[in-house]
A and B are shown apart, each in its own frame.
Chain A
């Protein structure tokens, strides 16, 4: 069964901490995405990557960075966590076709609380 695995289901961090959210997929997908999900706002794209060492900003990249050193792993980094980054974070992947014919495969999410 193909999978996107997010390393933590729940995280509690302090304001100002550097936070790493890890995502690993075993489907040999080229494309990987990070979203945050907030009530009433749906899914908002933070960053995405179409290939190793490539990254592109999504709609709300401020306060975040990403790393993709290996094809299967896409990390989201909060350089200095703030309370307004408390959210559910979802990782997704898709094959490197011209368009996502079958949509994305999502991880189970990481619920991050910044105190």
Chain B
């Protein structure tokens, strides 16, 4: 079946690292994505990773993929107030053009 799960809330202190976790059920997932939604806005693609990769780094963002456990994580280093948003994990399979989204994790930053 198609299911992508993530926790609903995460609170971190400004300057710390944030780690947002996601699990998915479909082992045939080909691409996995992280989207960011700022208040009152649509979703913006942050980064993506192919299923044949274990890690991808892009400036402050690090994506880790554990295919065996079907676990995806997004690490944001040196979290800033501008990182406050909802982060969506998503997956797609090569057999379909649809992307399946998780419920989103609301990241809040405390001073």
* Residues of A in contact with B (beta carbons under 8 Å apart): 4, 9, 31, 35, 40-43, 45, 48, 50, 90, 92, 94, 96-109
B55 at the A/B interface (Cβ < 8 Å)? no
A40, A96, A97, A103: which contacts B99 (Cβ < 8 A)?
A: A103
Distance of A91 Cα from B102 Cα, bound (Å): 17
Name 10 A/B residue pairs within 8 A (Cβ), A-sorted.
A42-B88, A50-B97, A99-B30, A99-B93, A103-B31, A103-B35, A103-B90, A105-B45, A107-B42, A108-B41
- The majority secondary structure among interface residues of chain A is loop
Tell me which residues across on chain A come within 8 A of B88, comparing CB atoms.
Answer: 42-43
* Residues of B in contact with A (beta carbons under 8 Å apart): 8, 30-31, 33, 35, 40-45, 48, 88, 90, 92-99, 101-104
Shortest distance between the CB of B88 and any CB in chain A (Å): 7
In the complex where A100-B92, A108-B41 touch, is A41 in contact with B98 (Cβ < 8 A)? no
Who on chain B is nearest to A44 by CB? B101
Who on chain B is nearest to A109 by CB? B42
A42, A90, A94: which contacts B42 (Cβ < 8 A)?
A: A90
Having A40-B103, A43-B104, A105-B45, one finds 7 other A-B pairs with CB under 8 Å, namely A9-B40, A90-B42, A97-B97, A100-B99, A103-B99, A108-B40, A109-B42
Distance of A12 Cα from B43 Cα, bound (Å): 23
B48, B96, B97, B101: which contacts A43 (Cβ < 8 A)?
A: B101
The answer to whether B8 touches A90, judged by C-beta atoms less than 8 angstroms apart, is: no
Who on chain A is nearest to B44 by CB? A106
Shortest distance between the CB of B90 and any CB in chain A (Å): 7
The answer to whether B104 touches A103, judged by C-beta atoms less than 8 angstroms apart, is: no
Distance of A35 Cα from B30 Cα, bound (Å): 22
In the complex where A40-B103, A42-B102, A103-B33 touch, is A98 in contact with B45 (Cβ < 8 A)? no
Tell me which residues across on chain B come within 8 A of A4, comparing CB atoms.
Answer: 42
Tell me which residues across on chain A come within 8 A of B102, comparing CB atoms.
Answer: 42
Interface centre among B35, B40, B42, B48 (most CB of A within 10 A): B42
